[in-house]
Amino acid sequence: MTASAVDESSMKERSKQDFKPRRIERITANAKSFDHSDAVPIIESHNFSFYYGTKIGVKNITMAIYPRSVTAIIGPSGCGKSTYLRSINRMNDLIPGTHANGELKVGGINVYDKQINLVNLRQQVGMVFQKPNPFAKSIYDNITYGPKLQGTARSELAALVEKCLRDAALWDEIKDDLHKSALALSGGQQQRLCIARALATKPKVILMDEPCSALDPVATGRIEDLILQLSKNYTIVIVTHNMQQAARVSDRTAFFCMGKLIEYDNTDKIFTNPASPQTEAYVTGRFG
Ligand SMILES: Nc1ncnc2c1ncn2[C@@H]1O[C@H](COP(=O)(O)OP(=O)(O)O)[C@@H](O)[C@H]1O
Ligand SMILES: [Mg+2]
């Protein structure tokens, strides 16, 4: 082997390692939550397709997502990550001319059934967007908005606000400012507030579409820590264009390309030993 070949292979090795340190520690430290072999999926899609008019958003997606875990969806821009994510709580229905085919179940119920109550569905399957989008209201009112609609008693609201803010790792920073405008918070705090607001309706699943892409590295680190913490109690599905992030926070990773699911497996497998050459090319940065 020549010196340059050694360099190249050691660099490739190192770049693979760059993807995994925290994640691998978590896999070994927390192997039980990673082994879902006897778990019942909370989200299951079977040949699920979604169209914008005649244009394909995603096609024939068959995958199972397990409770109390983090599932990352990665892939090049326009490959259908957001479409699939937003299909899970039918956010895409808001766009005229769209339609879905196949099956997508949450908790065993096909969310595209005509009888589905969309308000209930979205309370069970919360969503956090790329750009933090708190309401132009106080911190307190942001969190109590959903619970009030659900009919939660007034006497329970203060305790609920504290719990959600604690769970979103925000309480200590803002406990004296609950009645100040949410818009005065920093971007990272706003995103944690949006997560707290999603938690307030007691969802089972939280969908996150590139939740850190508008945040600086410190705020991003906080959200990633929070995702790991929340995954003990919630099912998180996160779209990210940041592969290091997928490797750090997720248990399972799905690689999408041109509307199709190319490969879906345990995260360490996807990043260190993917089955598909397309996945390998993407995770090693050769395209995308
Ligand atoms: N509102 C829309 N109307 C028409 N086409 C759309 C709309 N949203 C997404 N698409 C198309 O669906 C495909 C998948 O997009 P998207 O799910 O946003 O990809 P990603 O999140 O991976 O970047 C793309 O071809 C995109 O142009
Ligand atoms: Mg997207």
Residue 11 is assigned to a structural domain of this protein: yes
Look at the chain and report how many structural domains it folds into: 1
Residue 288 is assigned to a structural domain of this protein: no
Q: Is 10 exposed, middle or buried (0-12, 13-18, 19+ CB in 10 A)?
A: exposed
Residue 25 is assigned to a structural domain of this protein: yes
How many residues in total does the chain contain?
288
What is the residue range of 111's domain?
3-283
Q: Which of 243, 80, 220, 125 is nearest to 253 (CA)?
A: 243
Return the structure tokens found at 53: 């008019």
Owner of token pair 């132009």: 136
Residue 94 is assigned to a structural domain of this protein: yes
The atom number, within ligand 1, closest to the CA of 79 reads 22
DSSP assignment of 186-200 equals -HHHHHHHHHHHHHT
For ligand 1, atom 1: residue with the closest CA: 95
* Verdict on whether the full-model pTM lies above 0.85: yes
Strand, coil or helix: 49: strand
Question: What mean pLDDT is predicted for residues 173-191?
Answer: 97
Return the structure tokens found at 202: 């007691």
Question: What mean pLDDT is predicted for residues 103-128?
Answer: 94
Report, in angstroms and rounded to the nearest whole number, the Rg of the chain calculated over CA atoms: 20
Calpha distance 92→164 (Å, rounded)? 27
Ligand 1 centroid distance, CA of 57 (Å): 6
Ligand 1 centroid distance, CA of 129 (Å): 15
Q: In Å, how far are 17, 186, 214, 222, 225 from 218, measured between CA atoms? A: 22, 12, 12, 6, 11
Residue 273 is assigned to a structural domain of this protein: yes
The verdict on the CB of residue 80 being under 6 Å from ligand 1 is yes
- Statement: residue 18 has pLDDT above 90: no
For ligand 1, atom 7: residue with the closest CA: 52
Residue 47 is assigned to a structural domain of this protein: yes
CATH number where 175 lies = 3.40.50.300
Calpha distance 40→65 (Å, rounded)? 9
The atom number, within ligand 1, closest to the CA of 80 reads 17
Residue 175 is assigned to a structural domain of this protein: yes
What pLDDT does residue 29 have? 40
The atom number, within ligand 1, closest to the CA of 75 reads 22
pLDDT tens per residue across span 137-177: 999 999 999 999 999 999 999 999 999 999 999 999 999 99
Return the structure tokens found at 183: 């818009």
For ligand 1, atom 11: residue with the closest CA: 57
pLDDT interval class at 94 (50, 70, 90): confident
